[in-house]
Amino acid sequence: MRVKNLITINNFFILFILIFSIIVNQYYASLGAFPLDTFYHFDLGYRILKGDIPFTDIWMVSGVIVNYLQAFFFFIFGINWTSYVLHASIFNCIVSLATYFLLREFGLKIYYCFLYSLLFSLLGYTSSGTPFVDHHSTFFCLLAVYSLLFVIKNEKNIFWILIPIFLGFAFLSKQVPAFYIFLILSIIIIIYLFTFKKIDPLKSILLGIILFIFFLILLIFFGGIKFESFINQYILYPQSIGNDRFSNFKPTFHGIVSHFKFIYISIAPFFFINLKLTISKKQFFKKKDFFYFITILLFTLSLIFHQFFTKNQTYIFFLIPLLVGFSHIAINSITEKKNNSITFFLILYCILVTSK
Residue 58: strand, helix, or coil:
strand
Please report the pLDDT score of residue 241 as a whole number. 67
Buried b (16+ CB within 10 A) or exposed e, 155-182: eeeebbbbbbbbbbbbbbbbbbbbbbbb
Least confident of 185-189, 233-237, 285-289: 233-237
Contacts of residue 33, defined as CB under 8 A and 6 or more positions apart, other chains included, come to none
- Residue 246: what pLDDT? 60
Say which residue, 225 or 68, is predicted with more confidence: 68
Find the length of the chain: 356
pLDDT at residue number 38: 65
| 243: confidence class by pLDDT, cuts 50, 70, 90 | low
The CA distance from 329 to 297, in Å, is: 15
SS3 of 179-209: the string is HHHHHHHHHHHHHHHHHCCCCCHHHHHHHHH
100-153 pLDDT, tens digit each: 999 999 999 999 999 999 999 999 999 888 899 999 999 999 999 999 999 999
Question: Which range has the top average pLDDT, 138-147, 231-240, 242-251, 283-292?
Answer: 138-147
Residue 130: is it exposed, middle or buried by C-beta count within 10 angstroms (0-12/13-18/19+)?
buried
What Å distances lie between residue 265 and 153, 269, 324, CA to CA? Answer: 26, 8, 9
8-state DSSP, 286 = G
Q: 217 pLDDT exceeds 60?
A: yes
pTM, two decimal places: 0.93
Q: Which residue has the higher pLDDT, 333 or 316?
A: 316
For the residues 170-187, what does the mean pLDDT come to? Answer: 95
Nearest-5° angle of CA 125, CA 129, CA 133? 65
Q: pLDDT higher for 208 or 234? A: 208
How far apart (Å, rounded) are the C-alpha atoms in residues 331 and 340? 9
pLDDT tens readout for residues 3-49: 566 668 889 999 999 999 999 999 888 776 665 566 788 899 999 99
More confident residue, 350 or 56: 350
